[in-house]
Amino acid sequence: MHKQTIKEVLEKYKEFLHRDITVYGWVRAFRSNRFIALNDGSTINNLQIVVDFQNFDENIIRNITTASSLKIVGEVVESQGAGQNIEIIAKKIKVLGDNFTEDLHSTILQPKKHSLEKLREQAHLRFRTNLFGAIFRVRHAVSFAIHSFFNERAFFYMNTPIITGADAEGAGEMFGVTSFDLENIPRTEDARIDYAQDFFGRKTNLTVSGQLEGEAAAMGLGRVYTFGPTFRAENSNTTRHLAEFWMVEPEVAFNNLEDNIDLAEDFLKYVIQYVLDKCKDDVAFLDKRFAEEQKQKPERDRAKEGLIEKLENVVKKRFMRVSYTEAIEILLNSKENKKGKFAYPIENWGADLQSEHERYLVEKHFEAPVVLFNYPAEIKAFYMRMNEDHKTVAAMDVLFPGIGEIIGGSQREERLEVLKNKMQMMHVDPEELWWYMDTRKFGSVPHAGFGLGLERLVLFVTGMTNIRDVIPFPRTPKNAEF
């Protein structure tokens, strides 16, 4: 039997007028023993239930409190009050889940404003708040739009390994995977860990990226993308880092760097437009919250645009395409750099750009999203294609206002000998990646791809400022609760 969601009832209310329907949800508020604000999570908007308490058992009325769950049968009528088109005159009320009022006072379910830190401590309950209901509905829309974008463009979705022996980034900041009893680890004669006795017979870790496997798939399927969990064992307690997060990584055979930039721009605009179209109520709520947050900041630190305006401008504006060399010149000559306002001063070509530099380029200099390309080879990964100048690689980063880098990618090095030399220079063991080398031996072609952290994009679209608030159960140093 089809159960209507509150979203469906509110949007299609004319179909339900003067009919008896059944709705389910949690009590957000109960005023004057007469008006219940009911929400089932399908929308940020509540459905008003009107109760004539004289027609109901006193015990039922007494058990209707904030956070209790109800089944209600009643007639849909035009609302007599402001703020809603319809309301339901309750005919039957069943309390499905009582509320243990004595425990309620220690939770975030109390009807008052709570800090984001407090909400994180009770992440299992924060889905029930207006803010986190909106965030996670938007996160769903972003995820759905990602799949839709690639499906419409004839990409194939790949599931790459979560447990792997490869380190795609060469960073070494990985979580090891083992079946060993950590109190009794087998050792070789020279006292090293004997990985030959481990479950996989070798040292393995949780993946930091599905890119290398994605490249292998693209060499046979042409256009592929991965969308899955990735892990970084960085001991970083910042608002921008997680130990476990979700990555989107397309890989396209026969694409060059320019094709890759075009794909990234189209992709971001598509997903943001989808959210603007499909999550109007949630985005309007987040826009209002964003405006209130800005009022609390010193005037010089306030965003120039509201959340919706910012999202619409990203969709409308063509991304500025700027070489790393040009960006360094801009930064070197900026007032911020000359007056020592950057925490990391730009001194010469070859500097690794920090978030403050990226945001300066986007928010102050160009006032538009920026794509930086052709970075120094020394600061980029081994798999990025060497340019003809032998100084730079065909890398690209997409920079967004308020957040800095949101996408990183490159044209890949398809030439076997050049790849071998780069691996040697960067101390990457070719024997560990023998299978990756094989993709350059048998019909290698130019190809390109990029990576997008889902949480970074959700952070941008929701206007939140801490990445821990856009993933249901954040994993960070010293924190694996829930």
Q: Which residues of the chain have pLDDT under 50?
A: none
Count, residues in the chain? 482
Q: According to the model, what pLDDT value does residue 101 have?
A: 73
Residue 1's pLDDT is: 57
> 6-106: CATH homologous superfamily?
Nucleic acid-binding proteins (2.40.50.140)
Asked if 424 and 413 count as a contact pair (C-beta separation under 8 A), the reply is no
pLDDT at 170: 57
Mapped onto helix, strand or coil, the DSSP state of residue 21 is strand
Class of the CATH-defined domain 132-172+208-469: alpha beta
Chain centroid to CA 23: 32
Tokens representing residue 123 in the block: 């992440």
pTM of the full predicted structure?
Answer: 0.95
> In this predicted structure, what is the pLDDT of residue 27?
95
- Nearest CA among 451, 382, 462, 455 for reference residue 209: 451
How would DSSP label each residue in 64-75? --TT-EEEEEEE
**Residue 236 confidence (pLDDT):** 86
Residues with Cβ within 8 Å of residue 269, at least 6 apart in sequence: 314, 315
Annotated domain spans of the chain: 6-106, 132-172+208-469
SS3 294: helix
Same fold, 6-106 and 132-172+208-469: no
Instruction: State the pLDDT at residue 54.
Output: 86
Q: Note the pLDDT of residue 171.
A: 55
Query: 205: which strand partners?
Result: 164, 176
pLDDT by residue (tens digit) across 200-259? 999 999 999 999 999 999 999 999 999 999 999 999 888 889 999 999 999 999 999 999
